A and B are shown apart, each in its own frame.
Chain A
């Protein structure tokens, strides 16, 4: 595929790897956080870690929307599906995340609830049109990539006066999560960020400018292909070596400083900031998530069904919270790969292929074993 294959080229990968080896100083360690689950996935799938010097360590960040949604929010969706007889739809991975009592949306479906997996919010709108007698609720999750499509759907529902469609909104904001990582007590033990690819096509590179300025941490926005990630790591190494902290953009083919203004205007029209929102791992963060503006209250499932999320503790053994903060690794969890596997996930990080535990389970375990026996 054009614009995919060229960015996975093996010969170029070796060139960039050679440059990385030259740039990484032998006398220090580098720790970079890839914010996005998409990058985590690419790093594992293409074996990028194997091409890096051991002194360059990648820390997985919280940029996986399925992973960061806390149990209390999933309980709301399960409750709607089981007790309020709605037709509940969401993106695939979301259906498998265990919530209170180990229940998931998929289990609710097995018990007779009408839960559907959709590829796009447009499909959820279609369901509402085809089932005028049913309440159709779209369980909306995601960072700034899935938010503009949800905005378009709400505006469409409003234009069509689709009275049986509503959105259970869980859209969250990337810069707020990066801020939370950097302002952890004791500071974050990272030297810089590989910045989001597709989120940045929407918000642009400007929103990351406070991080070098206020925390002295470089940010290099990178595309989702393995060469993009490697090039970003090289650019980060150079910044650290030269004592610079700037926002650099490796993904210039799709990201500008100001991003997609049309998408931003649509989001601005439909959503407003929530005063605070609970994240798995990061706790309750101010101004970190969106809800529908009051003028679209008719399409807000929380208003329509009088919902309020209650905080629920994660499974005792699950280390997702610490993993999402970048302070633990999947292999630090006692039940990783034993009680918790992609077929039978205990925590959210084992569900989506972008989750650190799932990526590590699928691609990283054997590399670990080799490293341990070497």
Chain B
């Protein structure tokens, strides 16, 4: 039940609610726990609530780190 997913915000509704896209399925969720979410942002969705905003730049940096390690000499 702790499973949570990164989802894209498709539409901001009134009352701290939004419509998100979950792999092609649209669903209404609550934004009551996070401020400043904008259209197109990715949020982590858990039991119907956005828990946090996902930072695309940090995501890319992490992926680069996975790949860049290849060249690193063994310590």
**Residues A3-24 near B (CB distance < 8 A):** 3-4, 6-7, 12, 15-16, 18-19, 22-23
Cβ-based interface call for A250 (8 A): yes
- CB pair B51–A145 under 8 Å, yes or no, is yes
- CB pair A119–B48 under 8 Å, yes or no, is yes
Decide: A253 near B58, CB < 8 A? Known: A38-B3, A198-B46.
yes
Bound form: Cα–Cα A122–B65 in Å: 39
The smallest C-beta distance from B73 to any residue of chain A, in angstroms, reads 9
Partner of A227, one of B8, B66, B74: B66
Cβ-based interface call for A252 (8 A): yes
- CB pair B34–A262 under 8 Å, yes or no, is yes
Bound form: Cα–Cα A326–B53 in Å: 33
Bound form: Cα–Cα A198–B59 in Å: 15
The smallest C-beta distance from A171 to any residue of chain B, in angstroms, reads 13
Bound form: Cα–Cα A201–B3 in Å: 13
Q: Which residues does chain B contribute within 8 Å of A65, judged by CB atoms? A: 1-2
Bound form: Cα–Cα A160–B55 in Å: 35
Bound form: Cα–Cα A4–B44 in Å: 11
The secondary structure that dominates the A interface is: helix
Interface centre among B30, B46, B51 (most CB of A within 10 A): B51
Cβ-based interface call for A49 (8 A): no
> Measuring CB to CB, which residues of chain A are less than 8 angstroms from any residue of chain B?
1-4, 6-7, 12, 15-16, 18-19, 22-23, 36-38, 41, 63-66, 91-94, 119-123, 142-143, 145-146, 148-149, 152, 197-198, 201-202, 223-224, 227-228, 231, 234, 238, 241-242, 250, 252-255, 260, 262-263, 266, 352, 354
The smallest C-beta distance from B55 to any residue of chain A, in angstroms, reads 5
Q: Which residues does chain B contribute within 8 Å of A142, judged by CB atoms? A: 1-2
Contact sample, A vs B, 8 pairs, CB 8 Å cutoff: A2-B42, A3-B42, A64-B2, A119-B47, A120-B47, A120-B49, A149-B33, A149-B47
- CB pair B51–A148 under 8 Å, yes or no, is yes
The smallest C-beta distance from B2 to any residue of chain A, in angstroms, reads 5
Contacts A148-B33, A262-B34, A354-B3 supplied; 6 other A-B pairs, CB < 8 Å: A1-B23, A15-B66, A15-B69, A38-B2, A148-B51, A242-B75
Cβ-based interface call for B62 (8 A): yes
**Interchain residue pairs A-B with the least CB separation, the first 8:** A120-B48, A201-B52, A3-B6, A253-B59, A253-B58, A22-B74, A252-B58, A38-B2
The smallest C-beta distance from A177 to any residue of chain B, in angstroms, reads 14
Decide: A148 near B49, CB < 8 A? Known: A3-B54, A263-B33.
yes
Bound form: Cα–Cα A255–B44 in Å: 11
- CB pair B47–A260 under 8 Å, yes or no, is no
